[in-house]
Structure 1
Amino acid sequence: MQKVAVIHTSPVSLNELKALFAELLPEVEMINIIDDSLLEEVKRNNGITPGIIGRMCLYGQAAQSMGVDLILNQCSSVGESADLVKQTVTCPLLKIDEPMAEEAVRLGNRIGVIATVGSTMKPSCNLIRTKAEQAGKAVEIKEYLVAGALDILMKEKNQEKHNELVLKEIKKAEQECDVIVLAQGSMTVMLPYLEGISKPVLTSPRRAVERVKQMLAQQA
């Protein structure tokens, strides 16, 4: 049986990813490593720290010691530390937002990035720029930060208010961009509200698990 370790910085996407694995990869063992101090630390420092890098590398080594076939990094905010983890393990590592970033570059030149926590914005935009450079394409990235909305969702448990704030920015981006990226996995709660949006709106979890399936099939 193939194994995938998922490194989480909060439990917010755990159930959704479990459901996606059950749907798309029922024969694969999913191992979850959750350290919710990572997200708080990256938010406090508005970016990754030596401590975050150290713990992420430790979790990468732990995953490898379990004999996993692939590591999935669940959190965009620590994506740049995952790039360093990749250099310390022999198994493949996929960042959850990589397939989404690649698709955004394919779909448009003006890319709107919507985030609900400031620490996610820079690594998400940097990833899109990297994917655009790899594709030999010039893109314009517009940032839409819905400050505080993640805490409204996770701490206040007020999904309605979160959705209202995010939808306002989606509608603004719809007027200004070719394609819209919802930078965090937690933003899949917006999917039921996107029917009337005329531009593509991309989320990361399903795209990432579909890519994991492809990568595991290549290993088999």
Structure 2
Amino acid sequence: MATIGFLHTAEVHVATFDHLVHSRLPGLGTVHAVEDGLLVRARADGPDSVATEVLRHVHALHGAGADIICCTCSTIGGVAERVAGHLTVLRVGTVFRVGTVFRVDRPMARCAVRSGPRILVLAALESTLEPTRALIEEEAATRGTIVRIGMVTVPDAWRHFERGDLAAYTEAVAATARARRDEADAVVLAQASMAGSESLLADLGIPVLSSPRLAIAHAADLLGENLLGESD
């Protein structure tokens, strides 16, 4: 059975991604690593400050059976892709050209640049904004598209998240999206934890993109493309 590994900076994401994987791809296994201190240090000292720890988690997840790995933290996702690159996993009797490590928001960024030139990025943490902007600009350049990116930190959202009030958190995100709706052709919910706001904005009239669902679809594509074959 193929397995996807997840690197999280909050325990709450374990249940979210397990549910997505097991409901949509029941034949896929999951393994998780959680270290909230990665985000704390990345916010204080910059994402590159946690590169060594991120690589350690990547190797540990491969050791636990992960064929591909998704970093669910947007702040450190770029670091995860950069330090891990593409690894080859060799197992007895089977060769996998996998080991791909990808950030959870990359598939979302690809969708965003196809949605129109005005992209509004909402984040609960200011530290997420610049990595998300850079990712969208990278995807736009790859596509040959010019985009205009607006970036907004949702007031009080992270305070709600830290105290476990997810209803207030998602409502704050949704309220900000509604207030800024006329500025955008698409809204990007920059952090995986914001996914619950997507359903609250179903009537917004423009695409509202969150990362978890799109990341799992991307993982399925990667596994389908990269598994080389059965044992000899």
Partner residue in 2 for 1:68: 66
Q: Does the 8 A contact of 2:77 with 2:102 survive in 1? A: no
Q: Name the larger-Rg structure.
A: 2
Q: Does the 8 A contact of 2:120 with 2:184 survive in 1? A: yes
Counterpart Cα distance in 1 of 2:136 and 2:77 = 12
Partner residue in 1 for 2:102: 94
Partner residue in 2 for 1:168: 175
Q: Does the 8 A contact of 1:61 with 1:89 survive in 2? A: no
Structure with bigger helix share is 1
State which drifts further: 182-191 or 97-106.
182-191
Counterpart Cα distance in 2 of 1:88 and 1:178 = 34
Counterpart Cα distance in 1 of 2:54 and 2:121 = 25
Residue 210 (structure 2) pairs with residue 203 (structure 1): yes
Counterpart Cα distance in 1 of 2:129 and 2:194 = 14
Task: Give TM-score, length-normalised by structure 2.
Answer: 0.87
Counterpart Cα distance in 1 of 2:74 and 2:166 = 20
Aligned partner of 1:156 among 163, 168, 177: 163
The code of the aligned residue for 2:128 comes to T
The code of the aligned residue for 1:38 comes to L
1:187-198 residue pairs with structure 2 within 5 A?
187-198=194-205
> Where do 5+ consecutive residues of structure 2 fail to align?
89-98, 228-232
SS of the equivalent of 2:151 reads strand
SS of the equivalent of 1:214 reads helix
The code of the aligned residue for 2:180 comes to A
Q: Does the 8 A contact of 1:183 with 1:204 survive in 2? A: yes
Task: Give TM-score, length-normalised by structure 1.
Answer: 0.92
Deviation at 1:88, TM superposition (A): 6.9
Residue deviations 1:102-155 (CA, integer Å, cap 9, x gap): 0000111010000001111111111000000000111000001114412312x2
Counterpart Cα distance in 1 of 2:171 and 2:137 = 29
Q: Does the 8 A contact of 1:101 with 1:131 survive in 2? A: yes
For the aligned residue pairs, the C-alpha RMSD in angstroms reads 1.6
Counterpart Cα distance in 1 of 2:201 and 2:16 = 18
Partner residue in 2 for 1:36: 36
Partner residue in 2 for 1:5: 5
Q: Does the 8 A contact of 2:187 with 2:206 survive in 1? A: yes
Partner residue in 1 for 2:47: 48
Q: Aligned in 2, Cα 1:174/1:53: closer, same or farther, shift over 3 Å?
A: same
Q: Sequence identity of aligned pairs in percent?
A: 29
Q: Does the 8 A contact of 1:64 with 1:89 survive in 2? A: no
Counterpart Cα distance in 1 of 2:27 and 2:203 = 36
Aligned partner of 1:145 among 138, 144, 153: 153
Counterpart Cα distance in 2 of 1:161 and 1:140 = 29
Q: Does the 8 A contact of 2:30 with 2:66 survive in 1? A: no
Residue deviations 1:66-88 (CA, integer Å, cap 9, x gap): 34211111111101211222337
- In the TM superposition, structure 1's runs of 4+ consecutive aligned residues that sit over 6 Å from their partners are none
Counterpart Cα distance in 2 of 1:160 and 1:24 = 24
Counterpart Cα distance in 1 of 2:114 and 2:198 = 21
Deviation at 1:187, TM superposition (A): 0.5
> Where do 5+ consecutive residues of structure 1 fail to align?
none
| Total equivalences in the alignment | 217
